[in-house]
């Protein structure tokens, strides 16, 4: 099984430690993982802003980079969702179809494809899980509070096996943080308010570290935490799964 | 003003935003609890969606079937292709009946057609009898929510309003006292009304009858006391058979307010002796929406308002920030179909979180339609030059790995070395209330090259 590692643009440039943790976790699990050079972006910021047409070049670059792999794995639910859901704007060649079908968010790949939930990690902190919307409602990484289905959560399955980690319960279990890509800038007031409310929920429930499978949401929350000097921090779930504290 | 600007104004009073958010979240939670009590809730949604899709595919025949059966029952049926025709038809009936006073129960359609100002300009007295509607009417405002029209007002604000308009005593916002005073006032309106206008929740093709759901009984009070009852409905309100009510009545009130059923589900089938019943069937842009394949299912909507209660943006921006008859997520996919330019900011008033689609009892893929409208709006409506240029350039950069590498290095260099006042200038909306990410020494590409190059 050859796995292509997809490192989303903002993680590559701004959060290399998340990319490193993702790679190291996959290597620990014995995955034959490759990092194709020349990656750019999945095109999500353009599509969500209404400029899908201008993202076609980015989609083509993505497919070219990953067409030879059995699986494409990346540490960002919304980017993977974009590949699976919105790469319908380019011609559906066998390569495009394969790439769309075989793109997986990191947690889902570990639990569903590798069938592993215990990574032998330890992280002795009180952790709050931010269930990012595109991963949750788009990729169905877990059950949603709106739907009357049985409870499940891919990320919780993984975190449950991390030694010393105490997963804290939240008052609003899966409300959006207000990032939303360019929404964060064009609807600044609401975006900020939503983020503040989300952080407060974690603080009210004694969370020390907010984690999640989509670092873009965490980037937004971190921006607020740092500005307001709040006693809480964010870490991508890959960083926790890669910890042995 | 666009949605973002209105939302920003609403957010100047954070305590009010918190109150508004909590009030609606409470309704969302009530809805969750009520839905949990129904076995097969998700299948019920599938059924409802299926029935509505069937209705939209067979609308022509079902409408004729409904008209025929309604006429058999002695109901007069009118057809209006737009708001203007709708208002004229009502004016004509009122004039023929020599009516002066009209009581109205809740109807979003008459809001959509701006019936109240039209009738008032013709000299009729129109009173909204739903308490929430009555509050916004005397406040000279529009409903901010389709089920809870006055949810943007605190009880203290209603107290002040009633003191002005009804001469009530200051009561510190005592809901019981205020409701009683409104009831007393409305009672005389009911007793003296010439005509009652109601909306329609479900029109049944098979029987020619229709169902109106209220909690206050005001539709019944109006319709039973006045000699003439006019019911106004959009063409999409049809259901094929009476048995289908079993699906929709289970879903409607639970989705709307978390009640198992509305206090009154009133079935109107024929006029009583000596009185008249009219139905006005209105298109007003619905056929056009029906022709848009990507947006057709927006006509499934049964106006429960669940998408508003769950929407984290709606809860924090208030219904008036949408500047549309129907606010919130469903309004944001319906309104652009009516006036794309006026409502062009609405599909962007969302993070595409998808919660709206999940609560929708008739399974409208609201967030996917928001995405689709965005693609149309950037082509058909003039966009701010800066936004357009940046995004188009970004597209080019992402299509060329070399450009991207250069752009990535430049951004990181700037974020790391540029002075704070430059980075956090007025142009940086991100930085108004948030810090930018702290830049590490290298990016992942560089790390990989150094550590892993095989």
- pLDDT, tens only, B369-407: 999 999 999 999 999 998 899 999 999 999 999 999 889
Whether the per-residue pLDDT at B440 is higher than 90: the answer is no
- pLDDT, tens only, A188-198: 999 999 999 99
**Chain B residues with CB-CB distance to A15 below 8 A:** 437, 440
| pTM assigned to the model | 0.97
Q: How confident is the model at residue B454 (pLDDT cuts 50, 70, 90)?
A: low
Contact B398 A41 (CB under 8 A): yes
Overall average pLDDT of the B255-274 stretch:
96
Asked if this assembly's ipTM is beyond 0.95, the reply is: yes
Q: How confident is the model at residue A215 (pLDDT cuts 50, 70, 90)?
A: very high
Overall average pLDDT of the A84-102 stretch:
98
Question: Regarding beta strands A166-167 and A126-130, do their DSSP bridges make them parallel or antiparallel, or are they unpaired?
Answer: parallel
Q: How confident is the model at residue B416 (pLDDT cuts 50, 70, 90)?
A: confident
User: B196 — phi, psi (to 5°)?
Assistant: -115, 130
Residue A201's Cα: distance from chain center in Å? 20
- pLDDT, tens only, B222-252: 999 999 999 999 999 999 999 999 999 999 9
Is the Cβ–Cβ distance between B222 and B103 less than 8 Å?
A: yes
- pLDDT, tens only, A117-160: 999 999 999 999 999 999 999 999 999 999 999 999 999 999 99
Domains in chain B: boundaries: 1-37+289-383, 38-284, 393-452
Taking the Cβ of residue A49 and every Cβ of chain B, the question of whether any pair is shorter than 8 Å is answered with yes
CATH topology of domain A126-241: Rossmann fold (3.40.50)
Grouping H, G, I as helix, E, B as strand and the rest as coil, residue B276 is strand
User: Is the domain covering B38-284 a CATH 3.30.499.10 domain?
Assistant: no
Whether the per-residue pLDDT at B170 is higher than 70: the answer is yes
Cα end-to-end span (Å), chain B: 56
Taking the Cβ of residue B2 and every Cβ of chain A, the question of whether any pair is shorter than 8 Å is answered with no
Size of interface A-B (CB pairs under 8 A): 211
Here the tokens at position B412 are: 């990181």
Contact A180 B353 (CB under 8 A): yes
Q: Among A32, A58, A171, A189, which would you mutate to test the B interface (most chain B Cβ atoms within 10 Å of its Cβ)?
A: A189
pLDDT on residue B106: 87
Please tell me the distance in Å from B77's CA to the nearest CA on chain A.
40
Q: How confident is the model at residue B453 (pLDDT cuts 50, 70, 90)?
A: confident
Contact A11 B444 (CB under 8 A): yes
Strand boundaries in B105-201, DSSP class E: 125-128, 195-198
Here the tokens at position A214 are: 């989509």
Residue B268 neighbours by CB under 8 Å, 6+ apart: B209, B210, B211, B212, B223, B229, B231, B277
User: A68 — phi, psi (to 5°)?
Assistant: -90, 0
């Amino acid at each position: 099984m050859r796995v292509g590692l997809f490192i989303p643009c903002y993680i590559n440039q701004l959060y290399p430690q998340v990319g490193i943790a993702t790679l190291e976790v996959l290597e620990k699990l014995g995955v034959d993982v490759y990092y194709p050079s020349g990656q750019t972006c999945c095109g999500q910021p353009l599509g969500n802003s209404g400029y899908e047409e201008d993202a076609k070049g980015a989609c083509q670059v993505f497919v070219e980079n990953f067409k030879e792999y059995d699986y494409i794995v990346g540490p960002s639910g919304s980017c993977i969702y974009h590949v699976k859901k919105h790469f319908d704007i380019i011609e559906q060649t066998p390569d495009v179809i394969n790439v769309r079908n075989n793109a997986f968010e990191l947690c889902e790949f570990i639990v569903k494809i590798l069938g592993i939930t215990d990574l032998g990690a330890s992280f002795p902190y009180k952790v709050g899980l931010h269930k990012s919307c595109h991963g949750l409602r788009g990729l169905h990484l877990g059950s949603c509070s709106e739907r009357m289905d049985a409870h499940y959560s891919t990320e919780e399955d993984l975190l449950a096996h991390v030694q010393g980690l105490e997963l804290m319960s939240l008052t609003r279990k899966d409300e959006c943080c207000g990032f939303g890509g360019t929404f964060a800038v064009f609807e600044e007031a609401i975006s900020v308010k939503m983020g503040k409310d989300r952080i407060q929920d974690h603080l009210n429930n004694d969370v020390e570290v907010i984690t999640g499978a989509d670092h873009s949401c965490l980037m937004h929350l971190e921006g607020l935490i740092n500005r307001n000097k709040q006693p809480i921090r964010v870490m991508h779930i890959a960083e926790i799964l890669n910890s042995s504290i | 003003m666009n949605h973002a600007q209105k939302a920003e104004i609403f957010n100047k009073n954070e305590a009010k935003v918190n109150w508004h958010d909590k009030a609606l979240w409470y309704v969302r939670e009530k809805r969750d609890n009520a839905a949990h009590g129904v076995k097969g809730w998700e299948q019920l949604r599938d059924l409802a969606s299926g029935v509505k899709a069937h209705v939209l595919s067979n609308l022509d025949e079902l409408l004729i079937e409904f008209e025929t059966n309604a006429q058999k029952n002695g109901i007069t049926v009118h057809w209006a292709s737009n708001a203007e025709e709708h208002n004229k038809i009502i004016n004509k009936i009122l004039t023929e009946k020599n009516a002066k006073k009209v009581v109205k129960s809740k109807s979003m359609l008459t809001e959509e057609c701006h019936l109240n100002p039209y009738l008032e300009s013709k000299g009729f007295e129109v009173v909204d009898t739903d308490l929430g509607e009555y509050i916004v009417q005397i406040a000279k405002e529009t409903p901010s929510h389709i089920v809870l029209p006055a949810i943007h007002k605190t009880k203290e604000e209603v107290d002040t309003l009633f003191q002005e308009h009804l001469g009530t005593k200051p009561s510190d916002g005592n809901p019981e006292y205020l409701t009683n005073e409104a009831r007393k006032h409305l009672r005389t309106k009911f007793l003296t009304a010439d005509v009652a206008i109601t909306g329609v929740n479900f029109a049944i093709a098979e029987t020619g009858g229709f169902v109106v759901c209220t909690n206050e009984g005001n539709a019944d009070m109006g319709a039973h006391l006045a000699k003439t009852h006019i019911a106004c409905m959009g063409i999409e309100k049809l259901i094929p058979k009476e048995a289908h009510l079993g699906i929709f009545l289970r879903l409607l009130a639970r989705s709307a307010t978390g009640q198992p059923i509305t206090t009154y589900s009133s079935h109107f089938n024929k006029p009583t002796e000596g009185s008249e019943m009219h139905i006005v069937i209105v298109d007003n842009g619905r056929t056009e929406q029906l022709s848009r394949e990507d947006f057709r299912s927006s006509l499934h909507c049964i106006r429960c308002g669940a998408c508003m209660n769950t929407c984290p943006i709606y809860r924090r921006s208030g219904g008036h920030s949408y500047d549309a008859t129907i606010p919130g997520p469903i309004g944001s996919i319906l309104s652009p179909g009516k006036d794309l330019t006026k409502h062009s900011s609405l599909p962007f008033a969302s993070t595409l979180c998808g919660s709206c689609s999940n609560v929708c009892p008739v399974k409208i893929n609201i967030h996917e339609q928001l995405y689709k409208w965005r693609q149309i709006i950037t082509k058909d409506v003039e966009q701010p030059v800066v936004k357009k240029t940046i995004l188009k350039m970004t597209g080019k950069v992402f299509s060329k790995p070399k450009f991207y590498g250069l752009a990535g290095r430049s951004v990181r260099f700037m974020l790391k070395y540029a002075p704070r006042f430059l980075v956090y200038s007025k142009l940086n909306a991100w930085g108004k209330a948030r810090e930018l990410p702290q830049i590490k020494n290298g990016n992942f590409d560089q790390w990989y090259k150094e550590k892993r190059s095989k």
